[in-house]
Structure 1
Amino acid sequence: MARLQLKNVNKRWGSFVGVDNFDLDIADQEFLVLLGPSGCGKSTTMRMIAGLEDVTDGEILFDGKVVNDLEPKDRDISMVFQSYGLYPNLTVYENIRFPLKVRKVPKEKHDDMVMNAVRMTELEDFMHRRPADLSGGQRQRVALGRAIVRKPTVFLMDEPLSNLDAKLRVSTRAQIKNLQSKLKTTTVYVTHDQIEAMTLADRVVVMNAGKIQQVGTPTDIYDTPANTFVASFIGSPAMNLVEGLLKDGVFEGENIRVEGLPTGPSGNITLGFRAEDAEIVDGAGQIEAPMYSIELLGEASMITWRLGGALVSIKTNKEYRAEIGDVVRARIPAEICHLFDTATGERVAL
């Protein structure tokens, strides 16, 4: 059982700010994902939780107790790294057992604890192999087994799927989700992959340049992004963002015109909409422009235009056919549009 709190946590190296005023309450048993591009501060935040990095300012609390000065070994955490971190000379069984030996767990308990972790990570057939004889996915499962064997109060996972191919990422992602639901252990997971964040998290913390951009459920962040950074980072493809002028509820940009928008805001506005929320039409539409590209995705086709400086995409049925350069029209319902202040990038309150 563990509730984590980060109160106004900062990390600086000289004049460089790695994490800026990070303030967050992580509930017991929650699966929280820190999401953002490389260098945004997410791994540094995790390392401060683990005790591998000192906090410049602020407090980190485990169940109400400040742990800033506690050594990593005294925080009752387990970490899973991108690099697996397995001992090459030890078998799978011995790699998973190793944390029990280090923490001086009575030997008579080792076998039951190791075998429980082996079963949960489906490694029964590989117990006597060494890491060199395993696939990437199997090595990551060993790392997971080693993390869960002693039942810590907090799991910290730093980009654990980055070294796996696409197919293995999907299967291992499902296994991590299943394990966490069974173990009910507070988990903080770092990734730059928004699909991992959306599929795994109870809540997502989107970070950029050391700052929290938005905190919410995957649905909240997908449906109501707080700013253009979040809108452009979440979704596959990301939200379309087109700059233009809004006046009296009418948005106009290059080859795009959307009527029926709220009449309150006006001026330079960035219009956002999701590729799956608009549709290709034969008659008049809100977009009318030469097609820039067409891509078959399998279950759908992706149509892309260049509108001013932005590439704008819409999904349509997989049977759709057109040639690059053909004028293609699309309908964008006003009610599915998002409005952002072009100057600040912040969502416009309606």
Structure 2
Amino acid sequence: MAQIRLKNVSKRWNNFIGVDNFNLDIADQEFLVLLGPSGCGKTTTMRMIAGLEDITEGEIWIGDRLVNKLEPKDRDISMVFQSYGLYPNMTVYENIRFPLKVRKVPAGQHHERVMAASKMVELDDFLQRRPAALSGGQRQRVALARAIVREPNAFLMDEPLSNLDAKLRVSTRAQIKNLHHTLKRTTIYVTHDQIEAMTLADRVVVMSKGLIQQVGTPMEIYDRPANTFVASFIGSPAMNLVHGEIHNGVFTGDHIRVDGLSTQVNGPVTLGFRAEDAVLADSNAHIEAPIYSVELLGEATMISMRVAGELVSIKVGKDYRAEIGDVVRVNIAPSACHLFDRSTGQRIATAG
């Protein structure tokens, strides 16, 4: 069992708070993603779980063991870092094998376990090469194989795809997803890339400034963001957020008027909606504004306009043709709208 539990975990350096009162239960075999911008505390949280960073307060449990005082080597976890950390003088085979030698695994088991790990990440043709002769994607696969060969209870992965180009990120992401399905090990994955979080995670922990903003499945976080920070961080493009006033269920702002919102709130609010939830309209539109830009994406066209001082994106059909400056009319279903408190940013209602 590799259930991991963090209870009231904090990390401080003098007056700077890196992680503040972090509480989370990670289920056995769960794929959990820590998501947030640089400096939000996600890597610090992972390093505390790994034992590479001392905690200031709280408890970390792996299975039924309190591991606060345990050395990293005694926690039965494997880490994959953004930097591959391969030994340049060793072949791929020896790099994968090295953790077994360090942990004094009987030599008779080495070859079988190295070959099994190599096969999982499709490295069999490269075992006699040295890291300098490998591409970035191949080096990352060596790092993955080196983590797999130990057969740990849990994997910790810190931005493992950041150094890869876009095409390699997609293929390696699929490989990590398949490995988790095959190995069935608890995995904690750190990233600032919300697409990685959405595609890989069973659950996502969105973090900002050392605090948990929301925990949920990718679709829970996408469909019902807890606050404007989560709404603006999840989605490609991010959720449109427009400031305005609401009275008797009618939201108004510059170039926008949306009625039929079911809420008792009156006064200044922030209205949110996704680009794909807006549709072009002929008349009586919720939004009427000149086009700011037009971007052909291939499968769709993205148009943007300034609404209530904010740049708003709308996804339309790939055959849509318009010029910058043309006035466009858009409707948004009230059920697709999100309302947030203007001062705190917290979710206050979902219309519909």
Instruction: Tell me the TM-score normalised to structure 2 length.
Output: 0.99
Secondary structure in 2 aligned to 1:295?
strand
Q: Please give the root-mean-square deviation of Cα atoms over the aligned residues, in Å.
A: 0.7
Post-superposition CA distance 1:60-117 (Å, at most 9, x none)? 0011221000000110110000011100011110000000000000001000000000
Verify the 8 A CA contact 1:247 1:263 in the aligned structure 2.
Answer: no
Distance 1:309 1:52 in 2: 45
Secondary structure in 2 aligned to 1:311?
strand
Distance 1:39 1:346 in 2: 22
Partner of 1:131: 131
Distance 2:207 2:129 in 1: 40
Partner of 2:15: 15
Secondary structure in 1 aligned to 2:347?
coil
Post-superposition CA distance 1:251-310 (Å, at most 9, x none)? 001100000001411111100000001111232310001111110011000010111321
| Residue pairs, 1:194-213, within 5 angstroms | 194-213=194-213
Secondary structure in 1 aligned to 2:109?
helix
Partner of 1:305: 305
Distance 2:89 2:39 in 1: 34
Distance 2:319 2:282 in 1: 15
Verify the 8 A CA contact 2:35 2:205 in the aligned structure 1.
Answer: yes
Q: Are 1:183 and 2:183 matched, yes or no?
A: yes
Partner of 1:287: 287
| Residue pairs, 1:1-350, within 5 angstroms | 1-349=1-349
Distance 1:159 1:19 in 2: 18
Q: Mean alpha-carbon deviation: is it higher for 173-182 or for 302-311? A: 302-311
Distance 1:133 1:90 in 2: 12
Provide structure 1 residue ranges, at least 5 long, that are not aligned to the other structure.
none
Secondary structure in 2 aligned to 1:28?
coil
Identity %: 74
Q: Offset at 1:55?
A: 0.5
Amino acid corresponding to residue 259 of structure 2 in structure 1: E
Amino acid corresponding to residue 188 of structure 2 in structure 1: V
Q: Offset at 1:13?
A: 0.1
Amino acid corresponding to residue 140 of structure 1 in structure 2: Q
Distance 1:317 1:75 in 2: 52
Verify the 8 A CA contact 2:254 2:309 in the aligned structure 1.
Answer: no
Verify the 8 A CA contact 1:34 1:206 in the aligned structure 2.
Answer: yes
Distance 1:304 1:69 in 2: 53
Secondary structure in 1 aligned to 2:174?
helix
Distance 2:24 2:206 in 1: 12
Instruction: Tell me the TM-score normalised to structure 1 length.
Output: 0.99
